[in-house]
Amino acid sequence: MIGFNAALWTESLKMRRSKVPLLTALGFSLAPLVGGLFMIILKDPARAREMGLLGAKAQLTVGVADWPAYFGILAQAVAVGGALLFAVLTIWVFGREFIDHTAKELMALPTARSAIVAAKFVVVLLLGLGLTLYIFGLGLLVATLVDIPGWSLQLVGEAFIGVMGAAMLTLALMPFVALLASIGRGYLPPVGWTFLTLFLANIVAYTGWGDWFPWTVPALFSGAAGPRAEQLGLHSYLLVLVAMGIGATGTFLWWQRADQMR
């Protein structure tokens, strides 16, 4: 692709100069911190009530205070919270060109439009994976400070696969967000799409057909509804790939063929 390196450098520069990645990281940090709070409460519910951390009638359903339960919270937070926060990053990367009125200038550059779109997707992917690694590392630190039992290297390896797998599946659905940010030339259409898919994912999960709805697959992979082997099949991952392909292809075609001057 002509000009890909230049486009990637430009998008990376935009990322470094923006506060959006930092604010997203701060928002994502709540996941391991809240998980650590849950572990403190579960370790000693009576003491937690005395400290005002838990109401007399409040109940927690995350299980017991151990590493498997904590990693389960972390994976679910990445799947569910990531659907929103990764969408924010994608909307920022693609939608800001229209809000800042720089789309016309991009189209006038000698850099291939496909290179520009590819660079944007790479930045979204790197940001998403970087945030996930940060959250996993912070989670290890928080759980260690809370001193919960059940630690093992094998468990950490399995948890890493669970957290990163949930993140990858969630990121695979971001091209649809990019497509709507491009077609809608701004923020509102992709924001509406993000909330719609979150709403539908919850409904479909309750019906028992979540394995056939791509936007429910990351949460099911994280273990939100039980062991993933019982919730997902090969068709579930294929549907996520199909959704990713449709969104990515549509985004490339739109930027390549759409009349940006109107």
* Number of neighbouring beta carbons within 10 Å of residue 81: 16
d(CA 102, CA 104): 6
Which region among 87-91, 196-200, 222-226 has the lowest average model confidence (pLDDT)? Answer: 222-226
Give the highest mean pLDDT range of 14-18, 46-50, 104-108, 195-199.
Answer: 195-199
d(CA 121, CA 187): 17
Write out the two tokens for 79: 């799947």
Kindly state the percentage of the chain with pLDDT values over 90: 39
Q: State the pLDDT at residue 68.
A: 85
Q: State the pLDDT at residue 91.
A: 93
The mean pLDDT of the chain is 84
Q: State the pLDDT at residue 59.
A: 53
Q: State the pLDDT at residue 128.
A: 93
pLDDT digits (tens, 9 = 90+) for 56-70: 444 555 567 788 888
Domain ranges in the chain are 4-257
Q: What is the pTM of this model?
A: 0.87
Q: State the pLDDT at residue 60.
A: 57
Q: State the pLDDT at residue 190.
A: 93
